[in-house]
């Protein structure tokens, strides 16, 4: 009997294990089935989905999908006429090609549907390019039903890097991932061609939920033991107990719970980010396949407001809503994408209307636009000429800070006839007593951007804070890691161990500013990071010290280097794919390969200046002066106003002992690159070396007055003043440097 029981137990165990393994195998083998499969069980969601922007993200060309007027119409853009017409059931545009010649192109796909629609043209090498002519789909009374150019009145000629047939308007890389389902770029470097594939011409159910084949199988049995009903993830918001705070009159959670899976699923398309691999897996960290932009000053205003076409992710991660556990689907219906309530009713679901909806809070009439929550807290910025988008950082409008920082504010976006000072005065009358006493992260970031004496302490305040958003900490580390005092180093090392991949990534970036011993002690562990984006960044930071790594770290370094080179090779439809490989290969001693990559980059992308200047530097190190001069001249012939190429040529002349020509080039570089500390420093040192010491000091002092206390210029002032025996000035600038940078 005992033996029989044992046999039965083992049999059951084997069956259970076999079932689990089959379940795991079927889950891992999940494939895309198409949104049509979803409709039979999810009819309500399917009907809502058909009204969404997602459903119309892209479509094949037909009378039902094309909204633009192709009835023998034309549009004149900066003197150049484009023609739109139909023939034999196909849609055509006749416009200028990359040689400046008029040519006929057939329209392959529509792209979007409101408030504008774009059109795609397919080429023999697998590229699809986005036409610059858009149809304004708004009603005629709102200014719509017309053709317009994506860059409005800015002239984009056929030689411009933004021309529609160029790499920056390439659908396969710039657009496709967010307008299709199960997209694979499939770039083939050997033939410089695309073999892109996708499952559906839209953002479908499976774009968000993941491949549904196992879910379809689950639907036959409704087996509750199967996780997530056969999907690899659940997009349901985690349950939180929300209670009304009697003082704030706002609903707050008893415990804030992060919904990163949901937010990062949306972030794939609602973040300004670079996708570096086709291998996206639902539910994994966003940074396994994408590198999201921080709220850096290239794309955002210094206080974190949207500036360039920034989408929502980096903005929303700054918000108090995100910190409290609010997600995208708290406000938006996930299938129609529409907001769940109109006007202030949406905000009123959490913020008591009695306190917030009316003049008692907004100081505007209840029925007026000034009383609409979004107009003050989510001001609109218009992109692509007609596309109005809300800033999802959901911030307090601060016209008082606009006076200091030159940032926009919601008040003056409405009151365009009033000054910022007027808006700030009224704002302070109403709200000054309610504002927090401690500095906002906007003020601290402004200090950092201006290289002020309190800069290092501002960075310290941001990084050690328990309340500032992770997105702001990541931004601060990425942009201002050169404030590298001992206490900043300690905070960076703490962030290297963060559970947040975005913080780890940007802490690694900041470590590049530290000496060899610190980098070798802190960064190698990140070579083993579970997140691909983090470990590749660690590899690039460690590349300069690759031959000093311990054995196990060195082996992993080579593994990640191979991974990185494969990623960059797949990016070689752009110059960065060559350039990035060349940098890391040169740094790790593979100079022959690096040289060839730079040369190929120059041949294929002759307008990419960085490859010229880096190759000139490589030849300089190898004492190949004639070749260095040839490359510098080649670059300047194509880009005569590039300061870095003039700088490289100036240094070449100096090395040849031709100081006269060298100084002409260095002066040109400093003039063209007046805001670059490197350009100005190089010219100043040249002036000093050729006997014009006083001019060198004046030049660097003028730079400090205009662009702030950048470390390279302060170092130059200290050194030059010491050599000139200007001890008082040297001491002043040395003290200033310590006060700004903390060491």
| pLDDT at residue 28 in the model | 54
76 backbone φψ class: left, alpha, beta (φ>0; ψ -120 to 50): beta
- Residue 564's pLDDT band, with cuts at 50, 70 and 90, is very high
What's the pLDDT tens digit per position in 130-185? Answer: 999 999 999 999 999 999 999 998 999 999 999 999 999 999 999 999 999 999 99
pLDDT at residue 249 tops 70: yes
What's the pLDDT tens digit per position in 453-469? Answer: 999 999 999 999 999 99
Mean pLDDT of 331-354: 96
> Are 249 and 368 found together in one domain?
yes
Mean pLDDT of 348-368: 96
d(CA 265, CA 284): 9
> Are 139 and 247 found together in one domain?
no
What distances in angstroms separate CA 298 from CA 52, 293, 374, 407, 635, one per listed residue? 31, 10, 25, 14, 25
| pLDDT at residue 19 in the model | 40
β-strands 193-194, 187-188: how paired? antiparallel
> Are 192 and 252 found together in one domain?
no
280 half-sphere exposure, CB direction, 13 A CA radius: 26
Kindly report the backbone phi and psi dihedral angles of residue 201, in degrees, each rounded to the nearest multiple of 5, phi listed first. -85, 50
What's the pLDDT tens digit per position in 621-677? Answer: 999 999 999 999 999 999 999 999 999 999 999 999 999 999 999 999 999 999 999
pLDDT at residue 22 tops 80: no
Burial of 116: CB neighbours in 10 Å, binned 0-12, 13-18, 19+:
buried
Chain Cα centroid distance, residue 215: 33
Question: Which among 346, 370, 395 is the end of a domain?
Answer: 395
> Are 189 and 65 found together in one domain?
yes
Chain Cα centroid distance, residue 359: 38
Does some domain include residue 350? yes
- Residue 25's pLDDT band, with cuts at 50, 70 and 90, is very low
Question: Which among 349, 367, 395 is the end of a domain?
Answer: 395
| pLDDT at residue 7 in the model | 35
Question: Which among 336, 361, 395 is the end of a domain?
Answer: 395
Kindly report the backbone phi and psi dihedral angles of residue 138, in degrees, each rounded to the nearest multiple of 5, phi listed first. -65, 165
Q: Which two tokens stand for residue 553?
A: 């770290």
> Are 125 and 69 found together in one domain?
yes
Q: Percent of the chain having pLDDT more than 90?
A: 93
pTM (two decimals): 0.93
Mean pLDDT of 292-315: 97
- Residue 5's pLDDT band, with cuts at 50, 70 and 90, is very low
Does some domain include residue 17? no
Does some domain include residue 631? no
> Are 62 and 118 found together in one domain?
yes
Mean pLDDT of 601-606: 97
Report the chain's mean pLDDT, rounded to a whole number. Answer: 94
Does some domain include residue 320? yes
| pLDDT at residue 6 in the model | 35
> Are 129 and 78 found together in one domain?
yes
What distances in angstroms separate CA 570 from CA 128, 182, 252, 291, 526, one per listed residue? 17, 18, 46, 15, 24
Please report, to the nearest 10 degrees, the dihedral formed by the alpha carbons of residues 228, 234, 238, 239 taken in order: -50
pLDDT at residue 239 tops 50: yes
Mean pLDDT of 105-118: 97
What's the pLDDT tens digit per position in 62-77? Answer: 999 999 999 999 999 9
| pLDDT at residue 539 in the model | 98
> Are 271 and 158 found together in one domain?
no
- Residue 2's pLDDT band, with cuts at 50, 70 and 90, is very low
- Residue 478's pLDDT band, with cuts at 50, 70 and 90, is very high
pLDDT at residue 21 tops 80: no
> Are 322 and 192 found together in one domain?
no
| pLDDT at residue 29 in the model | 82
| pLDDT at residue 10 in the model | 36
| pLDDT at residue 44 in the model | 96
Domain that residue 61 falls in: 52-203
731 backbone φψ class: left, alpha, beta (φ>0; ψ -120 to 50): alpha
> Are 168 and 270 found together in one domain?
no
Number of compact structural domains in the chain: 2
Does some domain include residue 14? no
Please report, to the nearest 10 degrees, the dihedral formed by the alpha carbons of residues 517, 522, 528, 530 taken in order: -150
What's the pLDDT tens digit per position in 609-625? Answer: 999 999 999 999 999 99
pLDDT at residue 12 tops 50: no
Does some domain include residue 233? no
- Supply the DSSP symbol for 384: T
pLDDT at residue 20 tops 70: no
Give the residue carrying structure tokens 């031709």: 658
Q: Percent of the chain having pLDDT more than 70?
A: 96
pLDDT at residue 9 tops 80: no
pLDDT at residue 293 tops 80: yes
β-strands 102-106, 90-96: how paired? antiparallel
> Are 197 and 60 found together in one domain?
yes
Does some domain include residue 308? yes
Does some domain include residue 304? yes
Beta-carbon contacts of residue 621 (< 8 Å; ≥ 6 apart): none
| pLDDT at residue 449 in the model | 95
pLDDT at residue 601 tops 80: yes
> Are 199 and 263 found together in one domain?
no
d(CA 462, CA 469): 9
Q: CB neighbours (10 Å) of residue 60?
A: 11
Contacts for 565-570: CB closer than 8 Å, 24+ residues apart: 567/276, 567/277, 567/536, 569/189, 570/185, 570/187, 570/189, 570/276, 570/277, 570/278
What's the pLDDT tens digit per position in 264-290? Answer: 999 999 999 999 999 999 999 999 999
Largest CA distance in the chain: 105
pLDDT at residue 514 tops 70: yes
């Amino acid at each position: 009997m005992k033996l029989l029981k044992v046999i039965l137990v083992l049999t059951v165990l084997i069956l259970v294990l076999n079932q689990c393994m089959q379940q795991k195998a079927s889950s891992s083998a999940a494939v895309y089935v198409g949104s049509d499969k979803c409709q039979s069980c999810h009819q309500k969601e399917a009907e809502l989905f058909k009204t969404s922007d997602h459903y119309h993200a892209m479509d094949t060309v037909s009378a039902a999908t094309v909204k633009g007027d192709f009835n023998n119409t034309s549009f004149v853009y900066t003197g150049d006429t484009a023609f739109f017409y139909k023939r034999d059931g196909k849609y055509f545009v006749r416009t200028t090609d990359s040689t400046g010649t008029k040519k006929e192109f057939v329209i392959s796909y529509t792209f979007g549907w409101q408030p504008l629609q774009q059109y795609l043209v397919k080429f023999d090498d697998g590229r699809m390019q986005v036409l610059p002519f858009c149809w304004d789909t708004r009603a005629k009374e709102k200014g719509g039903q017309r053709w317009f150019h994506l860059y409005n009145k800015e002239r984009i000629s056929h030689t411009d890097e933004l021309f529609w047939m160029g790499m920056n308007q390439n659908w396969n890389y710039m657009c496709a991932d967010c307008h299709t389902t199960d997209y694979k770029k499939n770039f083939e470097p050997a033939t410089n061609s695309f073999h892109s594939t996708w499952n559906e011409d839209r953002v479908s159910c499976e774009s968000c939920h993941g491949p549904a084949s196992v879910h379809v199988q689950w639907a036959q049995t409704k087996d509750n033991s199967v996780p997530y009903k056969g999907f690899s993830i659940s997009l349901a918001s985690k349950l939180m107990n929300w209670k009304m705070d009697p003082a704030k009159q706002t609903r707050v959670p008893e415990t804030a719970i992060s919904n990163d899976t949901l937010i990062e699923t949306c972030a794939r398309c609602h973040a300004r980010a670079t996708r570096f691999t086709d291998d996206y897996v639902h539910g994994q960290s966003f940074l396994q396949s994408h590198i999201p932009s921080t709220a850096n000053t290239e794309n955002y205003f210094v206080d974190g407001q949207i500036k360039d076409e920034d989408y929502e992710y980096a903005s929303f991660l700054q918000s108090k809503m995100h910190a409290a556990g609010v997600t995208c689907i708290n406000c938006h219906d996930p299938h129609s994408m529409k907001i769940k309530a109109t006007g202030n009713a949406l905000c009123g679901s959490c913020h008591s209307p009695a306190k917030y909806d009316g003049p008692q809070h907004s100081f505007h009439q209840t029925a007026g636009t000034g009383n609409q929550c979004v107009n003050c807290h989510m001001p609109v910025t218009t992109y692509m000429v007609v596309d109005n988008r809300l800033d999802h950082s959901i911030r307090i409008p601060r016209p008082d800070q606009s006076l200091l920082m030159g940032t926009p504010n919601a008040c003056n976006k409405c009151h365009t006839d009033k000054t910022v000072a007027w808006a700030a005065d009224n704002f302070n009358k109403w709200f000054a007593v309610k504002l927090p006493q401690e500095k906002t992260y906007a003020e601290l970031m402004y200090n950092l951007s201006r290289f002020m004496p309190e800069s290092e302490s501002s960075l310290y305040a941001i990084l050690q804070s328990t309340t500032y958003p992770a997105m702001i900490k990541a931004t601060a580390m990425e942009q201002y890691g050169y404030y590298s005092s001992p206490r900043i180093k300690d905070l960076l090392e703490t962030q290297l161990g963060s559970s947040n991949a975005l913080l780890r990534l940007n802490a690694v970036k900041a470590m590049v500013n530290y000496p060899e011993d610190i980098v070798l002690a802190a960064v190698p562990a990140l070579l083993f990071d579970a997140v691909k984006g983090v470990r590749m960044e660690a590899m690039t930071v460690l590349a300069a010290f690759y031959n000093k790594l311990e054995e196990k770290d060195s082996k992993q370094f080579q593994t990640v280097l191979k991974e990185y080179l494969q990623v960059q090779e797949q990016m070689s439809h752009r110059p960065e794919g060559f350039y990035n490989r060349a940098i890391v290969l040169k740094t790790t001693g593979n100079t022959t390969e690096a040289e060839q990559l730079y040369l190929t980059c120059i041949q294929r992308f002759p307008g990419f200046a960085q490859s010229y200047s880096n190759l000139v530097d490589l030849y300089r190190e190898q004492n190949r002066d004639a070749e260095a001069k040839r490359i510098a001249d080649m670059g300047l012939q194509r880009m005569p106003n590039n300061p870095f190429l003039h700088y490289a040529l100036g240094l070449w002349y100096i090395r040849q002992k031709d100081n006269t020509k060298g100084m002409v080039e260095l002066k040109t570089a400093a003039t063209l690159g007046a805001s670059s500390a490197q350009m100005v420093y190089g010219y100043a040192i040249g002036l000093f070396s050729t006997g014009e010491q006083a001019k060198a000091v004046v030049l660097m002092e003028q730079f400090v007055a205009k662009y702030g206390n950048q470390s390279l210029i302060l170092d130059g002032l200290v050194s030059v003043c010491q050599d000139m025996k200007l001890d008082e000035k040297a001491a002043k600038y040395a003290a200033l440097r310590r006060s700004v940078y903390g060491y």
